[in-house]
C-alpha cells in the first residue's frame, strides 16, 4: 500500500480513513466502543437496519397474527423468495435461481440428495481435505444413505502445503468415476479463493456436476454463478452478510436444473398456488423455491431484510475494493512490524486469490488470541495454530488495522500471551 516509512504511521492510517467513501457506513453498525472487531468472517456485527427490520417483523406478528403470512410490509409467505431476489446480485444469479432458506448443512444435504445420482462407474463424490468439517460430515452421510462406503467413495483432494489447494490437483482428480464435486469458494482457514469459473468448466467437460460452499465468500467477493454455469451453491448469511447468529442460509440452483424434483421434498417445496390444495402428490415450484424444505424461520430471516439493503446500496465492487485494501494494509504492517516474532502469513497474498480475511500461524496461536481479546481485539482462533483476522469493509477502519498490529507487537514483544493456556475455548 505504501513503501515509505510514513506508510507505517497512525497518521497514514487516519488519512486512508478520511479518503474512504465507505467510512460513513460504520455508523450503520453497533460497533463496541474501545474494541476492535476482526471476526466478521465468523459472525458479522448487528446493523441498525437489521435491528429495525427484525422489530418491524415482530410488529407484523403482533398486528396481523396469522394474516401476517399474506399481509403487511413483508408478507411471510413470500419472504424467502423476496430475499432470494436481494441475494441474487451478490452471487451472480438470476432472482429465480436464489432462495433464502435452511442452513448451510441442511442446504448441502438438500442439494447433494438432489444432484448426487450415482450410476454405472460414476459413484464418487470429489471434495478436498481442507474443507470445513460439517461439509465433509454431510457428504459422508449422503454416501452412506445411498449405500456407499465413504472411505472409498469420498475423494478428498490433498493440499500440498496444508493451507491451500492447487487447482491442477483438483482437475486431475476429476476422473470418470466422479459423479459430483463439492468445493469451497474460499477456504475457511487460509482465505484462498478457488477459480470457480475454471473448475466448473473443467468439471462440465467431464460430464460432472459441481457446486460450491460460499460461506466465506458471499458478501466478501463478487460472484457470477450463472455466467460461470455453476450447478448449485449454498451458504450462510451470518458472516459477511450480517444476518444474525444462526440466521437462515441461502442456496443457488442453476435454472437449467429447474424441474428436477428436490431430493428432500417438504411443505415449502411446493408451487405457491398449489401448496394449500393439500394434495399428497407434490407439485414442486418451478424455480429455486422447490429446494426449500420446511416453513421458513421468519424471525431469523427478518434481519437480512435490513442487512441486504446496505449491500444493495453500496454494491459488491466497492466492498471488495476496500476489503482488498484493508487486508493488504494489514499484511504490509505485519511484515514490517512483526518480522521477528514467528508470525507467518499463510493466506494467498495476490488480490485475485485472497478472500476477506488473513490467516496467521504461530505455535502459541491459542494463547495469542486470548491475549488479543484481553486487549479488546476480537480475532478468530483455528486449531491447531491459526489466527484469522478479518477487517470488514462496511464497519472496520484502517486505523483499527494499525492499532491491532501495534497491540499485537506489544503482546509478542512482552510475551503477554504466556500467562494463558495454549488451548482453545469451547467455541473457538
Q: Is 379 helix (H, G, I), strand (E, B) or coil?
A: coil
Distance CA 191, CA 5 (A): 28
Which residues neighbour 180 within 8 Å (Cβ) at sequence distance 6 or greater? 112, 115, 116, 125, 126, 208, 209, 210, 211
- Which residue numbers belong to the known binding site? 104-105, 132-135, 213, 216, 238, 267, 295
Cβ neighbours, 10 Å, residue 227: 10
Q: How far is CA 27 from CA 199, 315, 395, in A?
A: 39, 18, 8
**Contacts of residue 83, Cβ cutoff 8 Å, sequence gap at least 6:** 100, 250, 301, 304, 305, 308
CA distance 108 to 114: 10
Containing 182, the helix (H) or strand (E) segment is strand 178-184
Closest to 171 measured CA to CA, from 193, 199, 204: 199
**E strand intervals along 284-407:** 344-345, 358-361, 377-378, 380-382, 386-389
Peptide bond into 328 cis (omega under 30): no
What's the CA gap between 290 and 136, in Å, rounded?
24
The per-type count for the chain, helices as H runs and strands as E runs, is 13, 13
- Which DSSP category does 421 fall into? -
d(CA 68, CA 73): 9
CA distances from 215 to 4, 58, 262 (A): 37, 27, 22
Question: Facing residues of 122 across strands?
Answer: 119
* Alpha-carbon gap, residue 186 to 296, rounded angstroms: 27
For residues 386 and 22, is the Cβ–Cβ distance under 8 A?
no
State the binding site for pyridoxal 5'-phosphate. Answer: 104-105, 132-135, 213, 216, 238, 267, 295
Amino acid at each position: 500500500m505504501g513503501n515509505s516509512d510514513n506508510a507505517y504511521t497512525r497518521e497514514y492510517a487516519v488519512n486512508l480513513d478520511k479518503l474512504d467513501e465507505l467510512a460513513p457506513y460504520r455508523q450503520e453498525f453497533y460497533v463496541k466502543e474501545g474494541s476492535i472487531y476482526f471476526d466478521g468472517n465468523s459472525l458479522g456485527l448487528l446493523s441498525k437496519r437489521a435491528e429495525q427490520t427484525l422489530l418491524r417483523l415482530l410488529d407484523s406478528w403482533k398486528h396481523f397474527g396469522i394474516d401476517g403470512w399474506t399481509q403487511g410490509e413483508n408478507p411471510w409467505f413470500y419472504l424467502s423468495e423476496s430475499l432470494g431476489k436481494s441475494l441474487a446480485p451478490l452471487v451472480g444469479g438470476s432472482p429465480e435461481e436464489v432462495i433464502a432458506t435452511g442452513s448451510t448443512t441442511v442446504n448441502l444435504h438438500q442439494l447433494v440428495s438432489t444432484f448426487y445420482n450415482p450410476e454405472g462407474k460414476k459413484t464418487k463424490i470429489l471434495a478436498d481435505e481442507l474443507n470445513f468439517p460439517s461439509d465433509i460430515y454431510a457428504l459422508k452421510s449422503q454416501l452412506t444413505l445411498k449405500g456407499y462406503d465413504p472411505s472409498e467413495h469420498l475423494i478428498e483432494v490433498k493440499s500440498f502445503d496444508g493451507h491451500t489447494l492447487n487447482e491442477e490437483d483438483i482437475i486431475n482428480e476429476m476422473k470418470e468415476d466422479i459423479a459430483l464435486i463439492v468445493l469451497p469458494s474460499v477456504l475457511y482457514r487460509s482465505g484462498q479463493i478457488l477459480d470457480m469459473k475454471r473448475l466448473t468448466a473443467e468439471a462440465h467437460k467431464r460430464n460432472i456436476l459441481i457446486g460450491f460452499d460460499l460461506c466465506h465468500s458471499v458478501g466478501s467477493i463478487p460472484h457470477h454463478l450463472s455466467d460461470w454455469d455453476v450447478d448449485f451453491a449454498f451458504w450462510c448469511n451470518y458472516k459477511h452478510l450480517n444476518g444474525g447468529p444462526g440466521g437462515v442460509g441461502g442456496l443457488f440452483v442453476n435454472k437449467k436444473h429447474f424441474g428436477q424434483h428436490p431430493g428432500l421434498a417438504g411443505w415449502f417445496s411446493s408451487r405457491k398456488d398449489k401448496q394449500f390444495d393439500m394434495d399428497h402428490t407434490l407439485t414442486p415450484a418451478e424455480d429455486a423455491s422447490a429446494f426449500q424444505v420446511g416453513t421458513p424461520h421468519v424471525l431469523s430471516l427478518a434481519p437480512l431484510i435490513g442487512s441486504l439493503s446496505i449491500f444493495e446500496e453500496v454494491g459488491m465492487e466497492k466492498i471488495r475494493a476496500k476489503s482488498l485494501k484493508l487486508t493488504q494494509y494489514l499484511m504490509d504492517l505485519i511484515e514490517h512490524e512483526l518480522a521477528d516474532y514467528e508470525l507467518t502469513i499463510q493466506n494467498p497474498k495476490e488480490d485475485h486469490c485472497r478472500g476477506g480475511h488473513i490467516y496467521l500461524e504461530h505455535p502459541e496461536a491459542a494463547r495469542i488470541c486470548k491475549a488479543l481479546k484481553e486487549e479488546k481485539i476480537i480475532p478468530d482462533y483455528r486449531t491447531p495454530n491459526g489466527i484469522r483476522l478479518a477487517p470488514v469493509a462496511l464497519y472496520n477502519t484502517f486505523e483499527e488495522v494499525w492499532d491491532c498490529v501495534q497491540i499485537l507487537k506489544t503482546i509478542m514483544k512482552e510475551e503477554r500471551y504466556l500467562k494463558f493456556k495454549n488451548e482453545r475455548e469451547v467455541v473457538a
